[in-house]
Structure 1
């Protein structure tokens, strides 16, 4: 006969595992059904562009490969490659970049679209966090003529979102080791990027600049109020969009933080 003392714990573990599995699957289904529409579209674009870049021959494009055609080169922009002001954020150069985008970029984009609403998220992302960094990059190119100022990938957007999230906190714990005021944390990250490469530093610098400008209300005069955005939605958006579960209409904050940092409470800060 089986030992009852061993059988019961095994049965409990099996039940707990099944319950946890059902709970996890339920959360995934809920997330998929309610993922904000722009965050979802970015994920689709990332995957499609990456796959097409792997299979399409380079001679199909005037500027070389698909990724090269989407990359922002300041000198080519002045020669008429205007679409790259926006398309450079679609690129993932390798599978690791794609995985990063589908996990970390998706999480911060998901959080902010839920918080701001879809229309405000589109406006800020395309105009302030994509277009303006590319224009600033063009100014750097004109001023230097030597620095590598090519833009590709979504790291500028990611770093902008990350800075905005961080600056909403009073203090953070740096890599789980050092506590410091939140406004200093992005600067530390920039110094780390400078060690990696100038290209990474430039992308991070442009992203941090937009994050600081937004967080300290330097762009507030150019951003429509919540009431104005809601008025535009109700006036111009058809019901099948406005009432779609993927469309975010209210600024409902979602509690999420990247594992790169943790919140430090005032009590914890004072005790250090």
Structure 2
């Protein structure tokens, strides 16, 4: 049984997708008809954290490495997001906490570089924060349909996993795949009919996990910065997908997230191609 859970496919795919799916239902029903749907998105971050423990192990407190900090950033976003959704905070508060949290997470992750940093270092940090803000902005614009918002997150996480793999960071690759499949488990509850809203738990916990992994890859690995930048285009898929003509009514609404995902796949594949062409000449390492 122990060998089963050491299989990378189990750690990165099977457990997170099952966790995302099962936990979505469990959280929904545990919190009642009124509050349950609001906080069901917590399943994504929880499913990811389960995969994290299998891949990396329990992080120490205080954390030492950036990979260990990742778990605490996601857990913090999950807890804050859950409390905000449960207490029905207005969207403004969610957006404010996201942008401040993105800056705080970046500062914490980049601490080793800040002390002896150059002007280029600080410009890079500002660019990363702006990118995180753009992701949050686009997700808020797409939140009317939770699957339309989650589809670019899933595709971007898959792309991030492959970019990390070509950048010789196999453990971050597994973590990104784990996040993508956790999103997939949650999305199964919301397609073809969207049942649960895109709230603070998904923004701070789920999207926060994606952003923090991207921070780590950009700051401390050989992952292609050009490929990482191209993945940002995934979050502009929804307005492009709206131009695709689909059947009217419920059928068209059901296939709209598929169109969003397909459009998001274009820059994701381009990013993977760039990562492959610029990859270091060594095997991906763990």
* TM > 0.5: no
- More strand per residue: 1 or 2? 1
- More helix per residue: 1 or 2? 2
Query: Which structure's CA Rg is the greater one?
Result: 1
